Structure 1
Amino acid sequence: MNADFAAWTWSAGKGIEGLQLTRKPLVQPGPSEVLVANRAIALNPVDWKMVDWGHPSWKDGHVPGVDGVGVVVAAGPDVSIKPGTRVAYHQSLTRDGSFAEFCLLEASIVLIVPSALDDGIAVTLPCPGLTAWQALEKIPQVSEDVLVVGAGGAVGLVLVQLAVQRGYRVWATAAQKHHARLKSLGVVGVVDYREDNWQQILQAGMGNRRLHVVFDTVSGTHAAGLAPLLGYNGHLVCVQDRQEVAPLPPFGTAISLHEVALNSFHTHASSSDKQRLRHAGERLLESLLEGRLAKPELQIFDFRKLPDALLALKQGGKGGKWIARLNESDPVTLD
Structure 2
Amino acid sequence: MKSYRAHMGKGLSGLYKTEQDVPVPGPGEALIRVKACSLNFREMMIIFQGRYPLPVRQDVIPVSDGAGEVVAVGEGATRVKPGDRVMASIFPNWLEGPFNMDQAAQLGGSLDGMMAEYVVLREEALVTVPSHLSDEEAAALPCAGVTAWHALQCGVPIQEGETILTLGSGSVSLFALQFAKRLGVRVIATTSSPEKSERLKALGADEVINYKARPEWHMAVREITGGTGVDRVIEVGGAGTLTQSVMSTALNGQISLIGGLANHVDKVDYNALVSNVYSLHSIAVGNRSHFSNMVRFMESHQLKPVIDRVFSFDEFDQALVYYKDSNPFGKVIIRVS
Give the match for residue 333 of structure 1: none
Give the match for residue 330 of structure 2: 320
Does structure 1 residue 222 correspond to structure 2 residue 222? no
Q: CA separation in 2, counterparts of 1:115 and 1:67? A: 18
Does structure 1 residue 103 correspond to structure 2 residue 119? yes
Instruction: Select 1:199's aligned residue among 218, 227, 231.
Output: 218
Give the match for residue 128 of structure 1: 144
Instruction: Select 1:147's aligned residue among 149, 165, 172.
Output: 165
Q: CA separation in 2, counterparts of 1:180 and 1:314? A: 23
Q: CA separation in 2, counterparts of 1:29 and 1:54? A: 31
Instruction: Select 1:61's aligned residue among 35, 59, 62.
Output: 59
Instruction: Select 2:47's aligned residue among 22, 27, 51.
Output: 51
* Displacement after TM superposition at 1:37 (Å): 0.7
**Judging changes above 3 Å, is the alpha-carbon distance between structure 1 residues 149 and 192 closer, same or farther for their aligned structure 2 residues?**
same
Give the match for residue 309 of structure 2: 299
Instruction: Select 2:195's aligned residue among 162, 167, 177.
Output: 177
Does the 8 Å CA contact 1:113/1:285 hold for their aligned counterparts?
no
Q: Percent identity?
A: 29
Give the match for residue 331 of structure 1: none
Deviation by residue 1:38-69 (Cα, 9 ceiling, x = unmatched)? 11111111112122225564343210111111
State the secondary structure of the residue aligned to 2:299.
helix
Does structure 1 residue 277 correspond to structure 2 residue 290? yes
Q: For this pair of structures, how many residues does the alignment match?
A: 309
* Displacement after TM superposition at 1:285 (Å): 4.8
Does structure 1 residue 33 correspond to structure 2 residue 52? no
Q: CA separation in 1, counterparts of 2:226 and 2:335? A: 48
Residue type matched to 1:62 in 2?
Answer: V
Residue range with higher mean Cα deviation, 80-89 or 133-142: 133-142
5+ long unaligned stretches in structure 2: 91-105
Instruction: Select 1:311's aligned residue among 290, 315, 321.
Output: 321
Instruction: Select 2:279's aligned residue among 248, 256, 266.
Output: 256
Q: CA RMSD in A?
A: 2.5
Residue type matched to 1:75 in 2?
Answer: V
5+ long unaligned stretches in structure 1: 266-273, 328-335
TM-score, length-scaled by structure 1: 0.83
Q: CA separation in 1, counterparts of 2:281 and 2:261? A: 7
